[in-house]
């Protein structure tokens, strides 16, 4: 998806910049296996998530050639359709799979329109809205501080102290799946996708896993 978008639009000075919110040991093998033709960075301390209010992956922010945010952080064409997946066969009902494809295609079409039309694209939002869209609050700021300090302590081998700070970060910012995912148990593939993940997803009830993006029709 990202490689195709990058290849189709790079002659228009468009660049996909992918940033993994994880430890290098977990993210690097996936990046190397994909062999992307666009820049891929790893942000284990979540500075980008803090700056742009990112709470999950995939999320994206559109930034123009002057460094202005022209569309704030939103889900990059992903949906909650995965919650309907059969957890044994890993298959989706046909209608859910079709809806996921439709939403993703619509989001990619919006990106293409922005690259072609620039500031005249109907998908560009007012600067005041873009600037105010990042979640704010003392609790969120403290959560990121606890997370980064926990990262430092973990790298220093002070695991118990790190775990206490990770627990506090999750408590202060429960909407951040990025914080939870990086501090949760991971399987042999480096993914936090086991029973603990599904239990947390199921506990959402009617609340979304991916923040609902605005209609792009």
Find tokens 């606890």 and name the residue.
146
Decide: helix, strand or coil at residue 203.
coil
Quick: pLDDT tens for 115-142: 999 999 999 987 756 555 566 788 999 9
- Rounded CA gap, 3 and 37, in Å? 7
What percent of the chain has a predicted confidence (pLDDT) above 90? 75
Quick: pLDDT tens for 2-28: 899 999 998 999 999 999 998 888 889
Quick: pLDDT tens for 176-217: 999 999 998 766 666 777 889 999 999 999 999 998 766 676
Task: HSE, CB side, 13 Å, CA atoms: give it for residue 7.
Answer: 6
- Rounded CA gap, 97 and 105, in Å? 12
Give the CATH architecture of domain 2-132: 3-Layer(aba) Sandwich (3.40)
When pLDDT is averaged across residues 68-94 and rounded to a whole number, the result is 92
Find tokens 């079409």 and name the residue.
109
All CATH 3.40.30 domain ranges of the chain, comma separated, are 2-132
């Amino acid at each position: 998806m990202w490689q195709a978008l990058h290849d189709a639009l790079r002659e228009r000075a468009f660049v996909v910049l992918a940033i993994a919110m994880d430890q290098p040991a977990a993210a690097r093998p996936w990046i190397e296996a994909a062999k992307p033709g666009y820049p891929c960075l790893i942000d284990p301390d979540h500075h980008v998530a803090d700056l742009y209010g990112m709470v999950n992956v995939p999320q994206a922010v559109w930034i123009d050639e002057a460094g202005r945010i022209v569309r704030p952080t939103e889900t990059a064409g992903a949906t909650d359709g995965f919650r309907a997946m059969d957890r044994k066969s890993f298959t989706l009902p046909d209608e859910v799979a079709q809806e996921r494809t439709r939403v993703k295609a619509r989001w990619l079409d919006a990106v293409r329109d922005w690259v072609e039309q620039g500031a005249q694209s109907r998908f560009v939002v007012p600067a005041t809205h873009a600037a105010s869209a990042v979640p704010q609050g003392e609790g969120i700021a403290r959560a990121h501080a606890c997370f980064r300090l926990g990262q430092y302590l973990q790298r220093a081998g002070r695991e118990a102290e790190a775990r206490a700070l990770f627990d506090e970060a999750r408590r202060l910012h429960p909407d951040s799946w990025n914080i939870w995912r990086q501090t949760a148990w991971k399987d042999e593939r480096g993914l936090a996708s086991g029973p603990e993940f599904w239990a947390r997803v199921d506990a959402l009830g009617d609340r979304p896993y991916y923040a609902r993006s605005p209609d792009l029709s």
